[in-house]
Amino acid sequence: MKPIGQNTAETADQFGVNESSAAMHPVTDLPVKSFKDFAAISGFLMSIMNSVSRRLLKVIQWIRFNSTTFFQAILELNNRIKYFGISDDVTVTYRRRLALLNQINILHFLSNIIIPVVVFVSNDNYSVTSLLLSLAPSLVSVLVLTLNAYRKYNSALLAYFILYPFFTCLIYLGGMNLGMELYFIMYGILAVFFLNEIGQIIFSVSFSMISYFILTVVLKNYSFQLQTANPAFYFFNQFVAIIFIFYGLLLIKKENSDYQEHILAQNRDITEKAKLLEAQTAQLSALNSVKTRLFSIISHDLRAPVYALRDLFRNAEKKRVSPEQFTELIPDVVNDLNKTTELMESLLQWAKSQIKAETLEKRLINIRELVAEATDPLRLQIESKQIRLRTVMDDAVYAFADADTINIVLRNFISNAIKFTPNGGSIIIEARAKGPVSEISIHDTGIGISEENIKKIFKGEHYSTKGTNNEKGTGLGLMLCQDFIIKNGGTMSAHSEMGKGSSFSFTLPSGN
């Protein structure tokens, strides 16, 4: 074996390092094998650390999973105890009360089951009677749970608030002071919340308070004093009683808060339903009004022209009317038939509007083309009254709407303008693009509409008047126009001056 210094020197020579330079770097004093050992040890330590970290991670995951499972099991157990024996048929309020009673009762049972053991251990002169008396409160808890299981809820409440104070009194009268006197206060407080009948509440509270006064103030000499025999458990019993009182009040407060929130939620729900019902009632009332108006129009305006035409031809058939008289009556018959045709068209349009209420085929439409399409069928009426029709439009005005319904709107507006414009008057149709909407207006130099009648139009009330040439209307046109415009996402407005003319305008989404 060579000395370490010799190995160092040889190693230094081997790597071209002289002794002076090797002395300045102590790490070069280590042999090559030492580096390999160091790397092996480092790798071994790293593998141990990785293994430990993996195991530690598994332990943490196991603890997290099991703690979650444990708490879930506790919550599930609490729910089972809370709703033990409670039927779904009872009211929400009564169900909440019974659930609270179950919680308090089971906690009372767990604390009282220890009392017989303490009496047995602490009292050298115990008797079977004293042991049974100390066991009685726990048996009352079992009885209450049993009555709940058999759906005897009222009996369970009475058993709790009568038998518990009664057997607690017997324990004290049997000569044992177990530090349970504060329970009487708890019985009195809880009785006010749980019992429904005023007689039961007065009896339970009076019995508990009188018992508390007699057993703590009047009777003070007991053969067995738990405070002397086992001070720790005596104070524990007092502490548990205080906790029960606090917990009972806390549960009652929480229950009342939850109940109030439940009532508020119900009130909000009822309010929303009432608003919905009110809106539906208003809608049904409006529909009923429309239906009544339609039947009135059909029964009068549709029947009268048909009967007149029938009577005319019947008289002509029986030669009761001369050819001259028949010729004179033809214009009136034609006017009646025109009115009937208009009425039938309006009724068909209204029926179509109801069918297409949810199926409007909206698309980008050219207003100029739609105006031309709407005015073409009305050319004869325009020419017969020598009305000057002029259109003023931007180069390209578009709207995103249903072409069929807007065509009906334009035709109705233009037809009304023709009807109420005197011979030789003028009608101007304007269309302008105004940002997100396109506005279409129809101006006439007709007889105008009073402000009162304009209000009727926008309220959907029946409004009909004769035109300048005694043209009759049905009053359905403007109602349909307003309905169609709203369904296409637009708005309608009107302005008129008596004797000067009217302007009806409506907007539609431009589709930009």
At 227-274, the pLDDT tens digits run 777 788 788 878 888 887 887 788 778 777 877 888 888 888 999 999
Which residue bears the tokens 């399409």?
Answer: 373
Confidence at residue 36, expressed as pLDDT on a 0 to 100 scale: 56
Judged by average pLDDT, the poorest of 38-47, 82-91, 410-419 is 38-47
Q: Say what the alpha-carbon torsion angle 478, 480, 481, 482 is, to the nearest 10 degrees.
A: 90
Q: In the chain, what are the domain boundaries?
A: 4-78, 92-266, 356-509
- Taking the C-alpha atoms of residue 409 and residue 365, their distance in angstroms, rounded to an integer, is 14
The residue among 17 and 403 whose pLDDT is bigger is 403
CA distance 344 to 307: 16
**Per-residue pLDDT band at 496 (split at 50, 70, 90):** confident
Model pLDDT, residue 224: 74
In three-state secondary structure terms, 391 is strand
DSSP-H helix ranges across 214-322: 226-229, 231-297, 303-317
3-state secondary structure of 447: coil
Examine the pLDDT at 358 and tell me if it is beyond 70.
no
In CATH, what class is 356-509? alpha beta
pLDDT band at 385; cut points 50, 70, 90 = confident
Contact assessment for residue 99 and residue 246, using Cβ atoms and an 8 Å cutoff = no
Label residues 249-262 b or e (16+ Cβ within 10 Å = b).
Answer: eebbeebeeeeeee
Give the separation between CA 456 and CA 22, rounded to whole angstroms. 112
Query: CB of 506 within 8 A of CB of 490?
Result: yes
**pTM: predicted TM-score of the whole model, two decimal places:** 0.43
Strands 224-225 and 362-366 turn out to be unpaired
Q: What percent of the chain has pLDDT over 90?
A: 7
- pLDDT band at residue 20 using 50, 70 and 90 as cut-offs: very low
Mean pLDDT value across residues 26-34: 46
Beta bridge mates, 431: 393, 440
pLDDT at 300: 60
Q: If you average pLDDT over residues 459-480, what whole number do you get?
A: 58
CB of 340 closer than 8 Å to CB of 305? yes
CA distance 207 to 459: 70
Q: Give the pLDDT mean for 452-460.
A: 72
Whether 406 shows a pLDDT value over 50: the answer reads yes
Helix (H) or strand (E) holding 144: helix 128-149
Distance of CA 385 to the CA centre of its chain: 59
Is residue 498 pLDDT above 90, yes or no? no
By the 8 A CB rule, do 484 and 406 touch? yes
Say which residues have a Cβ less than 8 Å from residue 498's Cβ, sequence separation at least 6. 447, 448, 449, 450
508 pLDDT higher than 90: yes
Quick one: pLDDT at residue 376?
87
**DSSP annotation of 198:** H
Q: In the predicted model, is pLDDT for residue 439 greater than 80?
A: yes
**Mean pLDDT value of segment 27-45:** 55
What is the predicted pLDDT for the residue at 241?
Answer: 81
At residue 493, does pLDDT exceed 50? Answer: yes
Q: What is the pLDDT of residue 234?
A: 80
Strands 176-177, 224-225: pairing kind: parallel
Four-residue CA torsion sign, 277, 281, 286, 292: positive
